[in-house]
Structure 1
Amino acid sequence: MPTPSQKPTLLIITSETSEAERLMAVLREARLAERSLSIPSADHLDKVIAERSCDLILCCGYDRDVEVDKVLSAYKRLKTDVPLILLAEPEHWEADAGKARRAGARDIVRRADPEHLRLSVTREIADWNARRAAEALNGRLAQCEQSTLRLTEITGAGVAFVQDGLHIDVSATYARLFGQSATEDVLSMPLLDLIAAEHHQAIRDLLKSTDLSDSSTTRLLDVTCQRVDASRFEARLLASPSEFEGEPCLRLILQPIETAPAQVSAAPDAISATQGAAGMAALIAEIETHIDEQRLVTRPFAIFFIRVEKILDVMHDMGLSLGLELLDEFGGTLSALVGERGFLTRVSEDGFGLIVDGLDELGAQTLAAELSAQARLPVRAAVQDTTVPDCQIGYFLVRDRASAPEDIINTAHRLCIGHRYDSDGVNEQEHSLTKGEDEEAAIAHKIEYALRNDQLKLVYQPIISLMGDNQENYSVLLRLLDEDENLLEAKDFIGTATRCGLIEALDKWTIRSAIEVIGKQRRAGHNLSLFVALSEDTFKNPNTLLWICDCLREFDVRGNWLTIQFQEDVVVGNLASISKLVETLRKIKCRVAISRFGATERPEMLLQALSLDFVLLRPALAQGLADDAAKQQRLLQLATLAREFNVKSVVTGVEDARALTVLWTAGVDYVQGNFLQRPSPTLEVQA
């Protein structure tokens, strides 16, 4: 996550404006503060701090019009964590020191000692930054806790919070593991009542020996659990200190132990359907056999995700053991239908993965329809409605260059559950509409000609700060001169380049040319930073990062002068691949951005998963913004969300002056659009 760079806001209590300006000059010279406000007295001190978000108070105790005792009394009543530094006359320093400390002031500084003032403010700013970081980490921790709980629900593990051997909260899955339909039924039972007698001593030792103040302590036990009907099951218990409603407690994650991986076979040579993590690992390994080291697909294949949607309801209503039994029988039916046509494995509690080589679109569609019609749960699962399939199937074809195996599986799963993205048109870095074959071939010829004859040109559109950033940020766009000297915009040829396998060559030319421009401009004294978009085909190539490193070395350019941006819907479909790429880009100091941000239903998940510097919001949000309250609300939500993760927000597609007022009020960091300046071959912001 980028390091916070925001400076605190100072509140100076003095009746003399010139004195406030003098103090700010001292601190600004030391680069300790940039923003301040002043008040003449302690009246309404609490309201000023709350409404103006002040982070540090300087009280000029030597000002004859400032009543120090009144200021200290008001500050003591506030019980705030905003630090106060009292500035006093040297002859009054000792008398004021005692009162200041009793009121909770962090320091008292002599009026004529600017060095002490700078040191004191430096210390308080460091504490202020530490508090902000701690708040952010606490927020991330809470999010991780929620993610852990959601994950355990999916994997079939139960979660319980225990204090002094008694349950204080449990998940629904935990209750179902012990045969209870409601969590309240488990809350009334001690933990030992759910554990077989032979493991009571181990549980007592666990409760006694765990230090609840040490959150890094974890214990793992294999235990025999006992349901209310006296039946038993083996489970693995992970115990760690936690908190529940502010009270220290022990968090238990209970995972039933499978005695052996479940095998589904309809014949001696049938495909095995392993479960959970083992099944996922097997599917990933099978995908890897189709892909070489350059991520090129050596054997094209179709991947299917087959989800038995109603099985979770069956498990809820009829019990876990019966649900698993029915799912095993379904797996046997599915295995018999697939036969030797492909590789089948169980990858989740309700899903199977299937890989079949050599299928085209029609073949994949036919197989999906066949499996959907014939793969049925056993009759005893529910009253059968033959018109409604028991499973949902999503599939897609993998050819040419592939993403990480995890991304391939995730894409099939999203297609299975009907995931879709919003769309609001095509911009200069997106695919254009499919063209006729003759026109497509002509444009491909123009691209090849331009690559051979250096007929590609970069144009730049400024990304302008609304917050006073002095860095010269530009978005890089590509133009092409054909044989007749006609200038083509990216939207006229990017789609064809992607479909004809030429997009990597265009991206590499753009990257190298942009880095060369950065080097020249930096040597000329310009504080330049360029944003360059990478296509999906390019970042899938593992050699792309080496190409970037070579270009940076060739032109002696630092990584943090270059921002690599990815489009949001591409990120969602390739999250595993891009996560690894972003980690590596961080190592060479490159900045990272997501463009067309905010199209997905939960954009915060991307901010949690990736370490980003910028998000560029969809151009459609800026269109008609001044007259559209719904867009204003959405934009405010996205800008606030980015700020919570210390990510800078950029609104693109700004076309009118009235939108700027809305954007500034919403706290947007940067703006870009034709209203401000159209893309230009020069790097000068036009008046």
Structure 2
Amino acid sequence: MDNLLRLLIIDDNLNDAEMMVSTLKSAGLAVRPERAEDEEDLLAKLKQHPPDVIVCTLGHPSLSLEKVIQASRQMGRHAPVVAVATNPDTDVVECLESGAHDMVRKGHLDHLRLVITRALTFQQQWRSLKSLESSLRETERRCKMLLDNARDAIAYVHEGMHLYANPAYLGLFGFADIEEIEGIPIMDMVVREDQQKLKECLRQHDHSQTEDVPADTTTQTQELQLKSISGESFSADMEFSSAIVDGEPCIQILIRSEAGGNTRELEKKLNYLSQRDLITGLYNRQYFLECLQKSLGQATQGKSNATLIELAVDQFSNIRELVGVAGADLVLSDLGKLLEEACGQSDIVARLEGQAYGILSQHWEMQDILQFTRDLLSRISEHICEVEGRSISITASIGAVQIDENAPDIDELLSRSHKACEEAAASGGNRTIIYQPKEGEMTQKQLDETWSRRIHEAMKGNRLILLFQPLISLHGEAGERYEVFMRLLNEGGEAISPSHFMPSAERTDLARQLDQWVIEQALVTLAARRKAGHDTVFFIKITGGTLHDPGMVPWIAERLKEHRIPAECVVFQIKVATVIAHLKQARDLVKSLKSIHCQFVLDDFGVGINPFQILQHIPVDYLKVDASYTRNLVKSHEDQEVLKHLTNTGHTQGKMIIAQQVEDAATLSVLWGLGVNFIQGNFLQAPSGALEYDFSSMG
């Protein structure tokens, strides 16, 4: 019923409340009124029934406008609040600033009727929007899941370029990842003799043609001779049909599978495995995020609330040092079983990453969350993990965030639970922090906007600086090598690390501008250094922002020519995680930079099941191993073995190995024995504004 109005009235005068209801009923609204007399009554009614509109008469003896709005938010409700002023001098602006939807003077019933009718329409449209958003997300999720799990090879092509390809399509042509095929013309995957046939099929289904030659809306089948990435050719029937993806017209290509037999059971097993974490057996991060998205949709429609919980093992690095990587995995597996047993059947438990777990719980009220998480922490602290004869006891920290009608998007929810978990760990661990927005605290979007402004101001005010840290050869290679670091100075002259502002810069496209600033300033310094007779090489970091700028490599080439710097004296550095997230763009960038004779470093290398697999796509010169391998290298024989394997394998592939964050002489000695080529860390010299390290001291 579109005219149904669930009305919650705050008015100590029963007659006035009845008059409001009567006026609204006479306007044709099916009013379901409730009246709250005090704060306890208000919270109870908000909990029992989500109101469509709240009417709050100002001057109530125990319920102010601010208290009513706060209570509504506290109970996870999103209902417009209409203020009714009893004093003719009441300022409507103050009411609106307090969060009211509108204000009406007492006794102006016709005005009240119009305002409440408008507020009801607003609430219905808001709920409809949330419902549609949730339905769209679910539909997109289901469509993608169907495509990803289809046996048939399916791809979408726009103007001859691949937009999407499912795993079956990728496997058919020998690609490992969607990043590898994005941007590759479909024409390159057909033998030359059949390319004209393909062109004709694409032309018939091209929506971009002129109106007098409409695109064919039927499905067309054409037998073509195709070729894989390895150059092997094979014959297949390709079906072409018109489609729309993300609002853009494109062409769907389907190659039906010839696999016979009943594969339903195999698909079921594969689907199960795709949802599971290999170490703990719990749900994985991807599946958990899908469940979180569904729960968010339910909450924002006022159907059911939930709580997002992030749980992280306290002092996990100490556990890893004590029992090694394999032993630490056993601890994580034990904890996973414990969490699964402790949580209810309706709760979703997953391993997010590292020592962090996620729980999507139906406990929502503050006291229920606290009781549930306290019991959970108690069970964890009482549990003993047996690892190769050692008895390991652990504690954990928990961050929780309530999901209700007012919940933000999924990224902000994850950010809030992570902040709360970090706060719990920082305050000693073995405790729960329920996220409560602090006055003046910013959302991720607001934080990004603030950092964007601060970065622009720093660039205009010359408050960006470069620091340099030497990379030292352990085996006598000649020359000076420095890594270039950037710092932002605040108004007081204090240096701020990029770890504070670069995530925001990545999200707001400022990272590319910062990369350009660093490169330009570094090349100016390097030119002066080499002109003074020093054989200096700079290692310069680049971020994901640079990967999507096709003009970056030509710009770098021009800067090198302008400053008269040999390209081999500039080594660009990028993190493995960034490469994996943007594999095709990273591959293209690295190949382009190497074509002008620049060199490349893969940073944070060595983590994962098969870290060398990425080198099949990225032709780098140096591998900078992840800092976790050097932090406890002297005591950890396991880390020494892993680092030895990384070094030896890297050398066989012609790569130079760099160890970072070297903090003592003992670690340096072990690295020398393992055959590592270069070392870097504060033990040698902390990042400095001066290029004054004595490289001859290591000779």
- On whether the aligned pair clears a TM of 0.5, the verdict is no
TM-score (norm 1): 0.41
TM-score (norm 2): 0.40
